[in-house]
Structure 1
């Protein structure tokens, strides 16, 4: 099995090396920052879960860099959240290091669900008017991710703070959706990095009224 894995990886790398002599056309897309980060996380996930197979397939830094360039080009049409969800699904379903075509097939499965990427979903959740339940959501998973993130929190915090929370919840719900699980189940909140002082009674009442207005 390891020999087959090495052979198919070698064929992929030969193809990308041959293609590299052709200048990129104007219509060729390049991976954005989020996609590149997702790709790096995917390779680290594979390194951890398929250690020996990974080292056989990518024995040195040059081979790994070339492989990342190939995978980046082939996965450029998928949002970062879909790439990561596909990688995690591959780890759960296969005992062997997947090739790029197997990852693409799992990305296509996520695409068939018709969900927006994490950032587009975040913007939709932040801009949706109240009452939230009656808004025409692009997909129910966006609403449940917003609800899990707390509407008040999303409305009253800067993007750099609110988006990571929303993205965590969205990615968890996307995984449930891909696995056919119930996305309406409550998501356990991540523990805060720092403790917060309890609000005064008046502040608590004001926050409660704000929360009611968002429902």
Structure 2
């Protein structure tokens, strides 16, 4: 099995190299942006952690790993960084063996097939959408339902560092429902809080209630 894995990876690299001729009209200057490169590095670390022995056999040295990252970057540069990471995470959940680049691309294409934006673009759209939310011209209904599940007040009054992970978790759950043909309008179960916050006093509760009403 280890030999088969190594042969599989080698053939994949050879095939991509064989297909790497620059198309007519393309000066070959395109390259992945900083966010995509960061996503690619995170993806390889995710694979290293989850497929440790397979990963080391597929990429036995630094040169092989660098070559693979360059080739994967070229093939994935048309996808946003957040979509690359989401596809990698889904691949880890669904694949018993180390995924190849085509398996990651297929999961990126699956999201694109439904015409949904990547998670971060959806988050920005949800944060910027005016009230009433239901009347906004959403790029896809999944963005609205992810925003609703994340709580509009929370999105409007939290930093991106705090709010985006919550939104992304809900968005990914709804995207999974969409891919499986399930109803995305059903309520999303809330994640358990990491910490327990102190209750707000009555004045703060009233102020927050007024702000929340203005968002509906």
Q: Structure 1 length as normaliser, TM-score? A: 0.82
1:168 corresponds to: 169
How big is the shift at 1:116?
0.9
1:85/1:175 contact within 8 Å kept: no
Match of 2:38 in 1: 37
Task: Map 1:1-215; keep pairs closer than 5 Å.
Answer: 1-14=1-14, 28-183=29-184, 184-192=186-194, 195-215=196-216
| TM-score after normalising by structure 2 | 0.82
Question: Residue by residue, what CA displacement relative to the aligned partner does 1:38-71 show, whole Å, maximum 9, x if unpaired?
Answer: 2223223322332222111011222212211111
The Cα shift of 1:16 comes to 6.3
Instruction: Work out the number of aligned pairs and report it.
Output: 212
C-alpha change, 1:28 and 1:105, in structure 2 (3 Å) is farther
RMSD: 2.7
Query: SS of the counterpart of 2:189?
Result: coil
Change (3 A) 1:206 1:129: same
Is contact 1:81–1:171 with CA below 8 Å preserved after alignment? Answer: no
2:149–2:187 CA contact under 8 A, matched in 1: no
Take 1:38 and 1:190, find their aligned partners in 2: how far apart are those partners?
Answer: 27
Distance 2:120 2:91 in 1: 23
Gaps of 5+ in 1: none
- Can you list the C-alpha shifts for 1:96-141, whole angstroms capped at 9, x where unaligned? 2221122212221111011112222122111211111222211111
